[in-house]
Amino acid sequence: MSPDGVAVEQETEASAGVVATRFATGADALLAKYQGFTVTTDEDWARAGEEQKQLREQVKAAEEQRDSWVRPLNAQVKRINDLFRRPKEVLEQVVNILSRARLAYEAKKQAEADRIRREQEEAARREQARLDKLAAERAARAEAKGDAEKAEEIRQTVPQVPLPIPSLAPILPKVAGIAKQQHWFAEVTDLPALITAVAAGEVPMEAVLANDAWLKKTASALKTAMKYPGVRVWDEWREKGTGR
């Protein structure tokens, strides 16, 4: 921002501070005056209504004053955000393209390593089966000659073919500032089943938090006819300004 822009912004903030302080001082005085206020007579009731009407006008005036300073700033922020939105989105798109390509390459290398390991495991199993068969045949011949001790020795000394170690993550060049992180997600595929599990205590209640906005809207529509298990419905009278 240019120096002139900074000066204008500082002047605007200072002016807003003066007006806001005036509103705050008056508001604090009224709060001290009416803290713990109760209505005991018809005159109190009427006076409170008149005071409330004036206070609503003050709230409206304060909001209009605040908006007159904030609206231009918000418009400026929006314009600046709009200027940067497109390049930011494009850059993020390129980042995602590169990231997907890297992850796909790594997954391909991992799949190849897993394939090689499976082939090695299968070869090891075949070789072990061959050695076991040879040992069984030798042991059978020894037993046929009446040498049970030799047969048992053959069975106990069959060479064991070691299995290959599990596949490790592919070894790739290190890139400073880039790391892979595993993320887990969940989505509801059967809401009745989830609700049943919550009711049975198998799933925490947080999995199906109440839709308070929907309940409030439904209560306004159905009123006393809204009779849902586990839901309390009530009404409150509140005053509002009519603008007259």
Q: Give yes or no: residues 198 and 144 share one domain.
A: no
Q: Give yes or no: residues 103 and 209 share one domain.
A: no
Q: Give yes or no: residues 48 and 143 share one domain.
A: yes
pLDDT digits (tens, 9 = 90+) for 7-61: 556 666 777 788 888 888 888 898 898 898 899 999 999 989 999 898 888 888 8
Q: Give yes or no: residues 108 and 42 share one domain.
A: yes
Q: Give yes or no: residues 77 and 130 share one domain.
A: yes
Residue 199 resides in a domain = yes
Q: What does each C-alpha distance from 90 to 45, 78, 86, 96 come to in angstroms?
A: 62, 19, 6, 10
Residue 121 resides in a domain = yes
Residue 143's domain spans which residues? 38-156
Q: Give yes or no: residues 149 and 198 share one domain.
A: no
Residue 25 resides in a domain = no
Place of tokens 């069959």: 158
Residue 224 C-beta-side C-alpha neighbours within 13 Å: 0
Q: Give yes or no: residues 108 and 54 share one domain.
A: yes
The answer, yes or no, to whether residue 141 has pLDDT greater than 50, is yes
Q: Give yes or no: residues 121 and 205 share one domain.
A: no
- Going by pLDDT thresholds of 50, 70 and 90, the confidence category of residue 108 is very high
Residue 201 resides in a domain = yes
Of 156, 176, 209, which residue sits at a domain end? 156
Q: Give yes or no: residues 152 and 196 share one domain.
A: no
Q: Give yes or no: residues 127 and 207 share one domain.
A: no
Residue 181 resides in a domain = no
Q: Give yes or no: residues 91 and 141 share one domain.
A: yes
Interacting residues of 193 by C-beta distance below 8 A, sequence separation 6+ = none
The answer, yes or no, to whether residue 5 has pLDDT greater than 60, is no
The answer, yes or no, to whether residue 122 has pLDDT greater than 50, is yes
Residue 138 resides in a domain = yes
* Per-residue pLDDT at 10: 62
Higher pLDDT, 165 or 198: 198
Residue 87 resides in a domain = yes
Q: Give yes or no: residues 74 and 149 share one domain.
A: yes
Residue 83 resides in a domain = yes
Of 107, 140, 156, which residue sits at a domain end? 156
The count of domains in the chain is: 2
Interacting residues of 204 by C-beta distance below 8 A, sequence separation 6+ = 198
* Per-residue pLDDT at 3: 47
0.75 cut: is pTM over it? no
Yes or no: say if 196 and 156 are a contact pair by the CB < 8 Å rule. no
